[in-house]
Chains A and B, each alone.
Chain A
Amino acid sequence: MRQAYWIFATLLSHWRRHPLNLATLMVGLAIATALWSGVQALNQQARASYDRAAAVFGEAGLASIVSARGAFVAQDAYVALRRAGWKVSPVLEGSVRIGAASYRLIGVEPLTVPRGSPVSGLATGGELEAFLRAPGQTLAAPETLGELGVAEGATPSTDKGKALPPLVRDGTVAPGLLVVDIGAAQDILGRPGQLSRLIVDGDAAQPDAAALAAVAGDALRLEAAAEGGDLARLTDSFHLNLTAFGLLAFIVGLFIVHASIGLAFEQRLGTLRTMRAVGVPLRLLMAALVAEMVLAALLAGAVGMVCGYFIAAALLPDVAASLDGLYGAHVSGQLAIAPRWWASGLGMALAGALAASALSLAKVARLPVLSVAKPLAWREAQQVQLRRQGAFAVFCLVVALLAYVAGHGLIAGFVVIAGVLLGAALLLPLALSGLLSAGEGTAKQALAQWFWADTRQQLSGLSLALMALLLALSANVGVGTMVEGFRKTFTGWLDERLNAEIYFDAASAADGARIAAWLARQPQVSAVLPVWRAETRIKGWPVDVYGTRDHATYRVHFSLLSELPGAWDKVRDGEGVLVSEQLARRMGLGLGSTLAIPTGDAVWEAPVVGLYPDYGNPKGQVRVNVDHLVRHWPDARRTSYSLRTAPEQAEALIGTMQAQFGASLARVVDQASLKAASTRIFEKTFAVTGALNTLTLVVSGIALFASLLALTGLRLAQLAPVWALGVPRRRLADLEIGKLLVLAAITAVLAVPLGLVLAWCLVAIVNVQAFGWRLPFHVFPLQWVVILALALVTALLAAVIPVARLGRTAPQDLLRVFANER
């Protein structure tokens, strides 16, 4: 034990003598852990909210029985199943609008709801009676009560004029969710005798399709459990993208760790040999090195976790706003951290540290006690390493190509990106070496020749940091191109889509009809266009069906990606529907395909006559003629309208409408405000991406700084002879800065095409797989200039302190280089 203690203490003594090396190692580990764990905290926070929403039915992951023909299950079928001994519980779901906000309303039956549900406790408590008997109760999260601006006991009304049972605060219910008795839900949602689905009790024996058919014929079908419910599925891609960014930042951080550990290994080579020579067993030495790394990972990881918490807390408002705007998901703004977050974060720090030190540990394991008798010349050794690296780079690129050709899904998309990025990063030293050789060939003066040759020699020490810089810069180019492209497309698309001057929601369908009739009589209004909506599910996926009137507003401005001849006529006549791009991709639909749309109690089989872009919408969407919408969905929400009027009269008209209809008008907004709100959601979404992007670049800057700092001491041997030959220290410092700027500039120039490849992968593969829509590909050359400047500034900032140290190196320190030569 004492033996192990002294070995460990001796290894640790290195860090005491090299505090900067220790600092870069710890900073690298902490940053990598912080960015990764920050992103994970955000994901965990959001998923916890989804789970709370799904937990109304007890433990997530319960199977359901749904209608095989329509969107709803008849209550009679539920009764028949219960009589046949099935342990099922009825659920009715829908959304209600209260004021300007939408809420998810769920009706449950507390006596049969599976165990684990917040409402199952009512079955044994005295509150059961209060929940079931008139006026009943509405269970809601404290956040929801706050949002509604009401206290417990309030009975707010929906847009259809239905009052909710008195509100009761319940911390176990997810924000944005209202839980009522099934009977109350049927009344509020206007669906008497109808159920959304039947939850199968997880404790009961699981039924099979044949048993179900024996009781209910072909009217019902079994649906497998979905983790976390709709929200979890809809937001999966959002979180996967966030995770991918966190992973990229983590890997860039590990470059710092790898550089620090590599340097420490080089500096301790003599010590390790000496330790072995005086009898330290290899196994014990290896164990001590691993223990040292574990200690560093735990300490730096813990610091990183704390930083990650603050990063997550800073980004949470934007993430919550994006999730709310894009998916209608209510995520609590108070960051709550689960113990497994700590465990997984520290686990990542540990795994990352060991991965980054694997190469050095392997070298120690093979370290001969005696120094190698015939060391390869530096140039030869570097060439061998470059050749190996090149071969691995080609392997990565081949894997990326195979994933592109043969792979499917989002994971394959990320494999393509990872393969391309890693392959390109590994090829960077080869490319730099070639370019520097070319520079050396053109140099005429001795100092210029030395400049190029010495820059090339520095490559091996700086290549890891430069690779990290390349990754960060190309991520900036790639993500920047995608975001700018999205912004450009999205803005143009919004202009086309939101071309009515005013949009309003009435408090109820009757109010809507009254307001529409009044508007139709106003001379300044050229058209009152209903935008009515019904909700359904196609193959388990939530889909909104919009009904609009045939009008030039749509025929002229509503752009379609592709259409059959006379598409708008067919929609008007009920002979076809328009389908959003993501729904078409998900269902494999093309022009002329038949889409089976479950209505209230049947299935409407409609031909697809056109496809249209619907950027940013996680749900599927179908556009039909409003008359057909009402025919198939008599209970469709008939409260939304758009108005055409002269733009300059919009503001006055809104004022008149508000004065005329007061509370009957739930929401009225002009075109500019609606566009601004949509753009705000977009900006919030990409604010998170932008923040992670910037942090990744900062991390790569630190990697460069760490490498330069580490190399400062080692550079003396190269610089001292040049100084001795008469080049002043100041000039040497300038040349050092010049070398780094040359390397950074070349790296930045190479990052542009790599970034464009990354952008193409994001646009053509990841976006399509993740969200179901494809953006047009745009390039933004001004961004490239910014990136080049950013690279040079990063390199300059990273070089200032190390080069200043070199410039201030005392002559006696430079002379020591010669004193040590023997």
Chain B
Amino acid sequence: MTVIDRTERSDRAADAAPLLRVSGVRKSYATPQGALAVLKGVDLTLAAGESLALLGESGSGKSTLLHLIGGLDDADAGEIVLDGVRVTGMPDAERAALRREKIGIVFQQFNLVPSLTVADNLAFQARIAGRFDAAWQDELMRRLGLAALAGRYPEQLSGGQQQRVAIGRALAVKPRLLLADEPTGNLDAATGDEVLGLALDLIRRTGCGFLMVTHSTRLAARLDRQVMLASGVLVTP
């Protein structure tokens, strides 16, 4: 019997039926100076259980690509397929359902609901998706070190604590794909390392795909694969 390593296994899985497939995606924005092409034909695949770091300079289109994959915006051309479902061209209501049920998103600015407590923020997406699991919620609270802060409001938390809540909220729904847009960008190096470590640990438990936008090659190295976005196309760093 042949022993195959994790990367090889994920490559095979991706080859068979990748969790995420991005093909020839283009996106441009209108500016006073004319159309600005941000993505010029991006191709990408990601397998379930695989983690991928998306690197690139500021303004290279990393966040744009993340938003297109998350169904927050629509591509001008190309195709994005998540878990066998075509995201591109999908009506708004279906995209909302997809985000609600299959995708967890961690924003750089945390984007917590200021009027909800830590516990309610963490449970928010799972509740509206109808997938709230009390045991999983308790485990996330405990693993993310939030149990003692359950009744607090976001404004009463530090940046690191808020980001943990954001990660917890994204994972509470047990997503098929977790997207993170510079999740440690607002944190110091030590806190960033700690938060990412926690996130990776939990991601492995859920078996979801993980795509993280980051500036940091150091943090990117902790993920299974790394790709770089430059001049609107993906290159291998």
Contacts and interface: CB of A to CB of B under 8 A. Distances in A.
Interface of A: 2-3, 6-7, 10, 13-14, 16-18, 270-271, 273-283, 369-370, 373, 822
B96 A271 contact: no
Given A277-B72, A279-B97, A3 B116 contact: no
Contacts of B100: 278-280
Contacts of A273: 111
A270 B67 CA distance: 17
A374 to B, nearest CB: 8
Interface residues of B, number: 32
Given A2-B130, A3-B129, A279-B101, 9 more contacts: A6-B124, A13-B116, A16-B115, A270-B114, A278-B99, A278-B169, A279-B125, A279-B128, A280-B128
B167 to A, nearest CB: 13
B115 A13 contact: yes
A277 B186 contact: no
B177 interface: no
A279 B114 CA distance: 18
Given A17-B115, A373-B29, A279 B130 contact: no
A373 B127 CA distance: 30
A370 to B, nearest CB: 6
A376 to B, nearest CB: 12
A451 to B, nearest CB: 31
A287 to B, nearest CB: 13
Contact of B113 (A3, A274, A283, A370): A274
24 contacts: A2-B127, A3-B129, A6-B124, A7-B128, A10-B115, A10-B116, A13-B115, A274-B111, A274-B113, A277-B107, A278-B99, A278-B169, A279-B97, A279-B103, A279-B125, A279-B128, A280-B96, A280-B100, A281-B92, A281-B96, A281-B97, A282-B93, A370-B67, A370-B72
Contacts of A282: 92-93, 96
B203 interface: no
Nearest to B110: A274
Centre residue among B115, B169, B186 by max chain A CB count within 10 A = B115
B98 to A, nearest CB: 7
Nearest to B98: A279
Nearest to B70: A277
Contacts of A276: 96
A270 B111 contact: yes
B144 to A, nearest CB: 17
B186 A822 contact: yes
Contacts of A10: 113, 115-116, 120, 124
Given A280-B96, A281-B97, A282-B93, A271 B130 contact: no
**SS of A interface (majority):** helix
Interface string B156-186: 0000000000000100000000000000001
Given A6-B127, A10-B115, A277-B99, A369 B72 contact: yes
Contacts of B153: 17
Nearest to A267: B114
Contacts of A279: 96-101, 103, 125, 128-129
B65 interface: no
Contacts of B93: 281-283
Interface of B: 29, 67, 70, 72-73, 92-93, 96-101, 103, 105, 107, 111-116, 120, 124-125, 127-130, 153, 169, 186
Contacts of A16: 115
Contacts of B115: 10, 13-14, 16-18, 271
Given A6-B128, A279-B100, A13 B113 contact: yes
- The 5 lowest CB-CB distance pairs between A and B, nearest first, are A279-B100, A279-B99, A13-B115, A17-B115, A6-B127
Nearest to B169: A278
Contacts, number: 77
A10 B70 CA distance: 23
A473 to B, nearest CB: 37
A724 to B, nearest CB: 21
Nearest to B97: A279
A116 to B, nearest CB: 56
Nearest to A369: B72
Contacts of B186: 822
B65 to A, nearest CB: 13
A40 to B, nearest CB: 37
Contacts of A14: 115
A373 B129 CA distance: 29
Nearest to A3: B128
Contacts of B130: 2-3
Contacts of B127: 2-3, 6
Contacts of A274: 111-113
Contacts of B120: 10, 13
Nearest to A279: B100
Nearest to A282: B92
A83 B100 CA distance: 83
Centre residue among A282, A369, A822 by max chain B CB count within 10 A = A369
Contacts of A13: 113, 115-116, 120
A282 B71 CA distance: 14
Nearest to A17: B115
A13 B72 CA distance: 25
A6 B103 CA distance: 19
A271 B114 contact: yes
Nearest to A822: B186
Contacts of A280: 96, 100, 128
Contacts of B98: 279
B76 to A, nearest CB: 15
A10 B124 CA distance: 8
A82 B208 CA distance: 94
Nearest to B108: A822
A16 B114 CA distance: 11
A281 B100 CA distance: 9
A200 B186 CA distance: 85
A368 to B, nearest CB: 9
A136 B63 CA distance: 95
Contacts of A3: 127-130
Contacts of B114: 17, 270-271
